[in-house]
Structure 1
Amino acid sequence: MLTAQLQQQIRKAQHQLRSALPNYRTRPGQNKLIAEIAHTIAGSYHRHERIALVEAGTGTGKSLAYLLATIPYALAENKKVVIATATVALQEQLVSKDLPFFQRHAGLEFEFCLVKGRQRYACIERLTERLQQPELFPAAQSKSMRLLEKLLKAWHNRSWLGDWDSLPFAVPDSLWQDIQADPFHCHRSNRRHQQCPFHLARAEITNSDVLVTNQAFLLADLDAGNSQLPAPEDSIYVIDEGHHLVDSARSFFSASCPLLQQEGWLEKALKFSQRMQANLPESSLKTLLKLQDHIDDFRREYSIISQQVPSYARSWFEGSKQYRFTDAALPLVISDKAESLAQLSQHILNKLEQLHQQVREAITEQLLPVKAISTTLQELSFFDQRFGQHQALWHLYAQAQDKLVHQARWVEQAEDNDHQVIAFASPLLLQAQLDRLLFRPAFACILCSATLTSLNSFSYPLKELGLDDFEGVRTLQVSSPFSYAEQGTVILPMMKHEPTAPTFTAELCQVLPDYLPEGEASLVLFASYWQMQEVAESLRQKGFSLLVQGEAARQSLLDQHQQLIKAGKTSILFGTQSFSEGLDLPGSLLTNLVITKLPFAVPTSPLEEAMSEAVTKRGGNPFLQLTVPATAKKLVQACGRLLRQEQDHGQIVILDRRLVSKTYGKAMLDALPPFKRHIHY
């Protein structure tokens, strides 16, 4: 239970934060959030299922609310608070703004840190090695060497923290991959690597009470048995931007892998294992011989696929670069080999890990030639990645699909190589995985978002997350303190055509200029790049000056937008779906939001098709059960760009007549905040 002492501590911390915040206004919604979250994690509602879904509208002070509710309890009960977000922007806000402010003024002694994946850190030893031994990297260009020299200098003078996010200048992806930390090169057992950025960052975890990470990393760590983060039973999880959790989980548990042109690197893997017999002590011979046997077996099994898939590909890609396997039913040549390839690739990964350990010992004992060290580690890392890809794919393909299919499976032609086929597998339902990894073992779990419900109901997210059968799950919806009816207006202009009509784009070009007022900040959201580009070309011919997504870096566009508005000029931003979420343009930076069409998912996506197919087989209606709730949620997110502060104002123009002409339209409109409405029908 939440003790009187803890309640008093929370109230005291909240009072001190209020005193430190300029122009602070009491928010009843925030108080409700704090109380509900605190009672949930204390077990006041259910001793074991300490789970809550919280939707907190813009301006409720959600971040400070969950910090106030979780940190005092965690400190008192010797738990850790793990905050997992979906976007880097929110992680940066928490670590650079919210947590430092909370730490200074709440009167609580605690430490916090940001936890990122290994690949977001550079290995300083690898970087130094590239500079000292350029002959080992024949592809190195003089420009790359100059960049590496600048990076090393920045590291030594501490103007760079050694990670991707604090890079002082742009670094090509290919060069970053050559210097990023990985478990083969950058191992803590090697004394020279103990001061690498990744290991320095990981050392902070032990002493931190609050850990900020992303949802993908959290899921990966849970799946790996908590190799970095605290154990679930010792953790209070706050899943911020919780509406992304299912997509984050689906992405993590999905797999893809090239099916063809595998002979070259498999031959190299075999030669590598043979060559290592001459470089490693005799004690490694057993591991190397086993590795060779497994690679030989894998090549032999895989040869059948290499021979037969090209003939299938000719029919798969007639008129399309994608082909989905209906009901997840694979061709026999693939399904027959899936289980053996999954097992063999796992055996190979196990032997590579043993070999890595033996290589590290050989390096420590100086038994491996210096010139061979870098090449050996590079090859180990490469083969581990390739066989890891195969293991993930064949593991999913080996799973039997019953009458109720639970995977989407498809193939695609590679964009840069018509002779290459990429195979994909993605789970349709994530309830079992989230239950096993997160909800059951966690001490407490709070999912929060400004857009967690769909059509004003928690039914959709509860079912999607697999929480509809949990007795102890709490749900709370806290409205925004904004005066929506006074601050904003939703306008539905008369449109002749629906977005599905071939003439809709032409009508957009005709109507849109009437809703781009001079001297104001406009954001126009499109459902597709091609339509955005066509409309942009048309409006530019009419004399409009536009800032279009894709024509410059996102931050550069936003900087230009801000400069224009500050100078009292007109600014019109064109963007797609990624601009409808996580974009913060407060005050005069956005007064006119235009949504050209409802953000329905692309119906031709293999994943969407498979999900619809599965719902239909269960006797459901995929459009009503999947498409409409998902689209309604995205529409609310898009409309959330307009009002970011209590003094903001503006209008939202929606150029999609389906909100009026279709039966689902009213439910979508009613799910929006209570703006004033002007409907021209």
Structure 2
Amino acid sequence: MLSEDLRQSVRDAFSNLTQAKALKPRWGQRQMIAEVANTLGDTERSPFLAIEAGTGTGKTIAYTIAALPVAKAQAKTLVIATATIALQEQLILKDLPEIKRHSGINFSYQLAKGRSRYLCLYKLDQLIQGSPDTPMLSMYPDEAELPEGEEAQGTYDAMLMAVSDDSWDGDLDSWPDALEPSVIRSVTTDHSQCLGRRCPHITGCSFFRAREGLEEADVIVTNHDLVLSDFRLGGGLILSAPEDSFYIFDEGHQLAEKCLQHFACFARSGRTLNNLAESQQWFESKHTFFVENDVRPESLAAITANQTDLLQLTRDTFGLCWSLLNDRTDTRSDLRFEFGVVQSELREGATALRDLWRVNRQRLNPFAGLVEALLEEADADDRETWEASLNDLQVMVARAEGQIALWDSYAESAAQDGTPWARWMRHYGDESSIECFASPIYARDILSEHVWDRVSGAVMTSATLTALGSFEHLMQQTGLPEDTKLARVESPFDASRGRFVVPDMRSNPSNPGEHTDELIERLPLLLEERLGTLVLFSSRRQLQEVHEALESKFGDSLLIQGVMSKAEIIAEHRKRIDNNLPSVIFGLASFAEGVDLPGEYCEHVIIAKLPFAAPDNPIDAAHAELLEAEGRNSFMELTVPSASLRLLQACGRLLRTETDEGIITLLDTRIANKRYGRAILETLPRFTFDIQG
């Protein structure tokens, strides 16, 4: 049971904060504070909580005020993990400073982001020097070509100047101008490429400077990706030790999907062959230098011979993949292996290729260790060459690790024990475009092993955790312990201020051509009703076709996902509304959640159709296949609950404050005339419904 002293500490902190900021305490917020404090502080109950907190609950204040006193009393670190940069910035720049200032709780906090969010001074130095003597391999050379031209070089020079005069800390998210993805890739690194303490720029490294004091912080704010990366490495290597930490997973409905992305494997034929050829050329160019520095020629010969064998076996294996992709009668874009079991001939090829990559890793690792030792002893003239060599070897080892993971998955695909996997292939034209994938189907086993079995306690929260009014879908997806406390907090906003309209449509989305034609016919009238409108599509193709048809009529008032970045679209949308001009956003799934457009910025949300997942999604198809094999209804158990969640998230874009009002229009009558549609309809907030279809 939660001690009375801790209970009083939480009450006092909440009272101090609400009085200082003249906040009106909300019942749902109080309820959430009690649930979080009791879960983490009561040692006689399960330390896990899944709590759905409707929009406007004030969940950030609730979980922080509740968890901090408990964490401090138990000498635990509080790790708050979000899915978006926007929420991290809100926590670091607004919420936590205000809580510290007004609650009476004395605590320290720090933001933790991955290396890819910080400038790498070593890579910037190489880019500015343009030195041909220190070429660096890229993890993704065919996708991440270095940007060229005066504009890119001007950006590099400006970055160096800003870091040198301490006007910028190297955090790319705080760079004043929008950066092209190619520029970001060119100036960032990852754990495989980072030279760590051996880097000549270690004292000024933006990433390591940002980590100073992380071990002493009471609260660490980070993202789901970094938490999962830490757990995959064993836990406690990047963040605090899991056993000594409480975790808050905000936007927790995304955790399972993020987990699958982290543990998935992938290889592309063209990239793999290019990497091997590049590695061969690299060793040839370095051969004389290495031999002159007492590296045994036999070691170099063994590595290059292995790479020659890898090149040939990789060509043969992808050639077999090409045959399998083309020797079929169906027209699907993917070749998915039933129940994840790869054909026997490809399994044999994958086994041989995996084993050869393991030999590659076995030879590269000690060679990288030798180069590291030689770097420590190198004189000033050669040091730069040794640093670049170590960096490149680390990239080669990381490439080998990725290849081993994929081909091992294919080689062992006939084994039926453990977590089931989906495996599939596709191509986009010729043999250089073959892509091979493998992914766990369920995140639950992975999260159980790497997260739930390790942490001291965890709270998962979001405005949308339940599907069809139940936590069952969440529990299946995430593998939260069976004794997890489940709770719901209703939004304090009056849902009846939003009208939910379903027009009487002639077309059915199952016939996409007819449905698109009717959207083009109906949307002009709907778009003229309000200034700020968000139109959500489930299909990029449909979005593009509707845009092409309506562009001449609406012109600049249409803001299209893919033409501009998400941040640029939102900024331009707000600017237009502020100037009393109409503005319409055409967006896909990423605009259906995490987008905050209160008041007149979004008075009408138009949803093209029920947001069912794409029917050709290989992981969902593999999941459905398993359910059907067990005699279960995959559509009702998997597809409908997922669509229900997505629809709730889309509807949540409308009412963002207590005074908001507006319309949600769903251009899909299946919600009214199908049994599964009515099940989804019954779980929506209590809008004012106008069902015409």
TM alignment of 1:515-664, pairs within 5 A: 515-542=526-553, 545-664=557-676
Residue 406, structure 1, aligned to residue 414, structure 2: no
Is this contact kept in 2: 1:257–1:422, CA < 8 A?
A: yes
% identical equivalent positions:
33
1:435-457 C-alpha deviation (Å, 9 max, x unpaired): 11001111001111100000111
Which residue identity lines up with residue 548 of structure 2 in the other structure? E
Is this contact kept in 2: 1:233–1:443, CA < 8 A?
A: yes
Q: Secondary structure in 1 aligned to 2:504? A: coil
- Who is 1:498 aligned against? 508
Q: CA RMSD in A?
A: 2.7
Measure how far apart 1:369 and its partner are. Answer: 2.3
Is this contact kept in 2: 1:185–1:377, CA < 8 A?
A: no
- Who is 1:186 aligned against? 195
How far, CA to CA, are the matches of 2:70 and 2:575 in structure 1? 44
Is this contact kept in 1: 2:507–2:514, CA < 8 A?
A: yes
Residue 149, structure 1, aligned to residue 149, structure 2: no
Tell me the number of residue pairs that the alignment of Structure 1 and Structure 2 aligns: 674
Is this contact kept in 2: 1:37–1:446, CA < 8 A?
A: yes
Measure how far apart 1:570 and its partner are. Answer: 2.6
| 58-67 or 424-433, larger mean C-alpha shift | 424-433
Is this contact kept in 2: 1:284–1:355, CA < 8 A?
A: no
Which residue identity lines up with residue 15 of structure 2 in the other structure? H
Measure how far apart 1:304 and its partner are. Answer: 4.0
TM alignment of 1:407-422, pairs within 5 A: 407-414=421-428, 419-422=432-435
Q: 2:681 aligns with which of 664, 669, 681?
A: 669
Do the aligned partners of residues 651 and 307 (structure 1) sit closer, same or farther apart at CA in structure 2, a change above 3 Å counting?
closer
Is this contact kept in 2: 1:258–1:421, CA < 8 A?
A: yes
How far, CA to CA, are the matches of 2:273 and 2:653 in structure 1? 50
Do the aligned partners of residues 366 and 632 (structure 1) sit closer, same or farther apart at CA in structure 2, a change above 3 Å counting?
same
Q: Secondary structure in 1 aligned to 2:201? A: helix
Residue 158, structure 1, aligned to residue 166, structure 2: yes
Is this contact kept in 1: 2:530–2:603, CA < 8 A?
A: no
Do the aligned partners of residues 191 and 552 (structure 1) sit closer, same or farther apart at CA in structure 2, a change above 3 Å counting?
closer
Do the aligned partners of residues 493 and 196 (structure 1) sit closer, same or farther apart at CA in structure 2, a change above 3 Å counting?
same
Is this contact kept in 1: 2:147–2:183, CA < 8 A?
A: no
| 421-430 or 173-182, larger mean C-alpha shift | 173-182
Residue 514, structure 1, aligned to residue 525, structure 2: yes
1:204-245 C-alpha deviation (Å, 9 max, x unpaired): 311211111111211111110121111111010111111111
Do the aligned partners of residues 622 and 104 (structure 1) sit closer, same or farther apart at CA in structure 2, a change above 3 Å counting?
same
- Who is 1:64 aligned against? 61
Which residue identity lines up with residue 490 of structure 1 in the other structure? F
TM alignment of 1:245-324, pairs within 5 A: 245-259=255-269, 262-263=272-273, 265-270=275-280, 272=282, 275=286, 278-279=289-290, 282=294, 291=303, 295=307, 298=310, 302=314, 304-306=316-318, 308-315=320-327, 319-324=331-336
Which residue identity lines up with residue 87 of structure 2 in the other structure? L
Which residue identity lines up with residue 98 of structure 1 in the other structure? D
Q: Secondary structure in 2 aligned to 1:84? A: strand
Q: 1:483 aligns with which of 494, 515, 519?
A: 494
Do the aligned partners of residues 519 and 493 (structure 1) sit closer, same or farther apart at CA in structure 2, a change above 3 Å counting?
closer
Which residue identity lines up with residue 263 of structure 2 in the other structure? F
Q: Secondary structure in 1 aligned to 2:240? A: coil
Q: Which runs of 5+ in 2 are unaligned?
A: 136-145
Is this contact kept in 1: 2:624–2:634, CA < 8 A?
A: yes
Q: Secondary structure in 2 aligned to 1:424? A: strand
How far, CA to CA, are the matches of 2:25 and 2:437 in structure 1? 51
- Who is 2:212 aligned against? 203
Q: 1:224 aligns with which of 215, 228, 233?
A: 233
1:521-559 C-alpha deviation (Å, 9 max, x unpaired): 211111112222322333344457422222323223222
Which residue identity lines up with residue 386 of structure 1 in the other structure? R
- Who is 1:441 aligned against? 454
1:101-130 C-alpha deviation (Å, 9 max, x unpaired): 112222222211111112222221331243
Which residue identity lines up with residue 538 of structure 1 in the other structure? A
1:355-389 C-alpha deviation (Å, 9 max, x unpaired): 33432332221168245235413432431332132
Which residue identity lines up with residue 499 of structure 2 in the other structure? T
Q: Secondary structure in 2 aligned to 1:181? A: coil
1:297-341 C-alpha deviation (Å, 9 max, x unpaired): 655654642553443343259755422222222133321143454
| 265-274 or 581-590, larger mean C-alpha shift | 265-274
How far, CA to CA, are the matches of 2:316 and 2:602 in structure 1? 58
- Who is 1:388 aligned against? 401
Measure how far apart 1:41 and its partner are. Answer: 1.0
How far, CA to CA, are the matches of 2:445 and 2:370 in structure 1? 37
1:15-67 C-alpha deviation (Å, 9 max, x unpaired): 11102324x21211111111111111123552xx4111110000111111110
Is this contact kept in 2: 1:407–1:428, CA < 8 A?
A: yes
Do the aligned partners of residues 629 and 182 (structure 1) sit closer, same or farther apart at CA in structure 2, a change above 3 Å counting?
closer
How far, CA to CA, are the matches of 2:359 and 2:100 in structure 1? 48
Do the aligned partners of residues 109 and 289 (structure 1) sit closer, same or farther apart at CA in structure 2, a change above 3 Å counting?
farther
How far, CA to CA, are the matches of 1:74 and 1:495 in structure 2? 54
Q: Secondary structure in 2 aligned to 1:194? A: helix
Is this contact kept in 2: 1:58–1:640, CA < 8 A?
A: yes
Q: Secondary structure in 1 aligned to 2:665? A: strand
| 666-675 or 157-166, larger mean C-alpha shift | 157-166
Q: Secondary structure in 1 aligned to 2:520? A: helix
Do the aligned partners of residues 271 and 519 (structure 1) sit closer, same or farther apart at CA in structure 2, a change above 3 Å counting?
closer
- Who is 1:242 aligned against? 252
How far, CA to CA, are the matches of 1:103 and 1:343 in structure 2? 55
1:508-533 C-alpha deviation (Å, 9 max, x unpaired): 12222332344532111111122223
